[in-house]
Structure 1
Amino acid sequence: MATNKPHLKELADFLKTRRARLTPMDVGLPSGTRRRTPGLRREEVAQLVNVSTTWYTFLEQGRDIRVSAQVLESLAQALRLTSEERTHLFMLALQQLPPEIPHGKNTVSPAIERMLEHLALCPAYVVGYRFDILAWNQAACALFGDFSRMTTRERNKLWYFFTNTAYRQMLIDWEGHAQFMLARFRSICGRYLGDAQLIELAEDLKKASPEFRQWWPRHEVQGNLPGCKSHDHPLVGHLVFEYSLFQVIEAPELTLAVYTPLPESDTAERLQQLKTLMLKKPA
């Protein structure tokens, strides 16, 4: 009988989606008779992992059964998991204890705020683990809009990505970047299972965004970080940035995002024009 433990339900759904994306040919098994559903059968995964079909069925049903690191490693290999997916699997199965959910209000030190302002031509902001944008510089406001005039929910990076129509129209390959954002969010939800605010954000996004609602059940977790982001800005034209993320060592739940103008482009000059236009704009 399945339990009501959230990590077991998440683990069960994750395994089902990983199994569904594989074919017998992918793992060196014969195709066999016609299949009613795509992907591997449970008994085929059990065969690859060298466990009983009943045991693996219990695992996919979210039952509270013991699972060893050795079996998890075999599962990761059998299901052809990426490095990020393997980490997610071990986290969900509680072979690694999930980190304690940070309590209290996230704060950004004055030193980091000063550093942001010194990145004059690099849009940059600090985001918390719930994707709330906590600090930013003028270049970020020039590119993304004035964060100080947004509500707390509008300043949430995930909410902004999936609901801000103007940014969606400006960002080239919005869909690819949005899927990456969702995959990062799924990884965070796996780390902080039971965080009420993350659960609420996911539920609200299901209602607000058809794409989020469609992609969320796929259980994709963080993949490769996009190296560049290109924008067609309505005022200054084409902007190309190298995109980098940095963890803040003294506050590991915070991440610094920096958009560096591509050197071989004229993005720096165009961004300066944009900042000038923003300063001239009446309050």
Structure 2
Amino acid sequence: MTGIRTRNTRREELAAFLRSRRERIRPEDVGLPPGLRRRTPGLRREEVAQLAGVGVTWYTWLEQGRPINASVQVLDAIARTLRLDAAEREHLYRLADLPEIADPAGHGEGLDAEVHTILSQLDPLPACVYSGRYDLLAWNAAYGTIFASVVDRPRLERNVLWRVFTMPDCCCPLVNKDEELPQMVATLRAAFGRHVGEPAWTGFVTRLSAASPEFARMWAMHEVARPGIRMKLFKHSSVGLIRLTSTSMALAAPPETRIVVYTPMDDESRQRIEWLAVHPEVVHCPLHEEAVRG
């Protein structure tokens, strides 16, 4: 009964949210004539449906809180029509019970343009932005040369934890995994405490536990840690070992995101990342190119 009540409450909240977003948009904002006989502010339901390319009846039922399913593509169209920002999109997806897409900020939306500028300016130092779940949100060219096996994945698969736990050892750029993977899992566990019960987080942990017994073992230890300064050893098929120090700094927005900068620990490592910066075409793992190309 509790689950049914929760779903009903979520549908009611979704209906109210859609109505509120629809009523704040003026017809002229979307290229429609204002009209003379509008009993309510904002767009009509049929106008939202037309602009989003969905059926009027279906959209009406969605606003009435009826038990219907909405695909990601349809909700994306509605979000664009209603001009939802990143936070509003996240709220929409959560209310629609789409846990895999419920964190659009977790895929780079909502990052300030200045953050992308900072990443670019840091080249040839590898730098990126992670979510609390280790989703890769943004990166610079130097990062891409080392982590091609992550950045070349489709957007929803760009998760560093998933890649390092599931890719073949020959393709994984991280050398000191024995020290670093437990630390990363402990950091994930600490972040998970703020998202207990959220489908996007529990689903991720469940799937990765099934895909990697090593991750499942570490997760079961319940260790927690904060992001910090770490020593990372990376290998690259073209230049060999690269010794880097990773420094993690929290960003103001989106919530729980952090920028990570990798600085060379010695002159040899600096020379190697500088060489990679002018040879971006090199493949990290030629023996397993499919792991790089996806």
- Shift in Å at residue 176 of structure 1? 1.6
Provide Cα deviations, 1:227-262, integer angstroms capped at 9, x if missing partner.
211123221012111111000024332111111112
CA distance in 1, matches of 2:161, 2:230: 19
Report whether the alignment pairs 1:184 with 2:187: yes
SS in 2 for 1:186: helix
CA distance in 2, matches of 1:224, 1:161: 17
Q: Is the 8 A contact 2:234 2:241 kept in 1?
A: yes
Aligned residues: 181
1:219 pairs with one of 214, 218, 222:
222
User: CA separation of 1:270/1:246 partners in 2, compared to 1, >3 Å: closer, same or farther?
Assistant: same
User: CA separation of 1:121/1:185 partners in 2, compared to 1, >3 Å: closer, same or farther?
Assistant: same
Report whether the alignment pairs 1:275 with 2:277: yes
Provide Cα deviations, 1:167-214, integer angstroms capped at 9, x if missing partner.
765322212211111111111111211121110110111111120122
SS in 1 for 2:218: helix
Q: Give the structure 1 partner of residue 211 of structure 2.
A: 208
- Shift in Å at residue 220 of structure 1? 1.0
Provide Cα deviations, 1:130-151, integer angstroms capped at 9, x if missing partner.
3211111000001111655312
Where do 5+ consecutive residues of structure 1 fail to align? 5-101
User: CA separation of 1:259/1:167 partners in 2, compared to 1, >3 Å: closer, same or farther?
Assistant: farther
CA distance in 2, matches of 1:177, 1:168: 17
SS in 2 for 1:244: strand
Seq. identity, %: 28
Q: Give the structure 2 partner of residue 260 of structure 1.
A: 263
TM, length-normalised to structure 1: 0.58
Where do 5+ consecutive residues of structure 2 fail to align? 4-89, 92-102, 284-292
CA distance in 1, matches of 2:177, 2:189: 18
- Shift in Å at residue 226 of structure 1? 5.3
Q: Is the 8 A contact 1:240 1:265 kept in 2?
A: no
Q: Is the 8 A contact 1:244 1:259 kept in 2?
A: yes
Q: Is the 8 A contact 1:180 1:225 kept in 2?
A: no
User: CA separation of 1:169/1:157 partners in 2, compared to 1, >3 Å: closer, same or farther?
Assistant: closer
Q: Is the 8 A contact 2:135 2:158 kept in 1?
A: yes
Q: Give the structure 2 partner of residue 237 of structure 1.
A: 240
1:120 pairs with one of 118, 123, 135:
123
Q: Is the 8 A contact 1:132 1:152 kept in 2?
A: no
Q: Is the 8 A contact 2:145 2:276 kept in 1?
A: yes
- Cα RMSD for the two superposed structures: 2.5
The code of the aligned residue for 2:129 comes to: V
Q: Give the structure 1 partner of residue 252 of structure 2.
A: 249
1:154 pairs with one of 154, 157, 164:
157
- Shift in Å at residue 123 of structure 1? 0.8
TM, length-normalised to structure 2: 0.56
CA distance in 2, matches of 1:147, 1:224: 20
The code of the aligned residue for 2:181 comes to: A
User: CA separation of 1:148/1:205 partners in 2, compared to 1, >3 Å: closer, same or farther?
Assistant: closer
User: CA separation of 1:146/1:159 partners in 2, compared to 1, >3 Å: closer, same or farther?
Assistant: closer
User: CA separation of 1:167/1:189 partners in 2, compared to 1, >3 Å: closer, same or farther?
Assistant: farther
The code of the aligned residue for 2:191 comes to: I
User: CA separation of 1:152/1:175 partners in 2, compared to 1, >3 Å: closer, same or farther?
Assistant: farther
Q: Is the 8 A contact 2:134 2:161 kept in 1?
A: yes
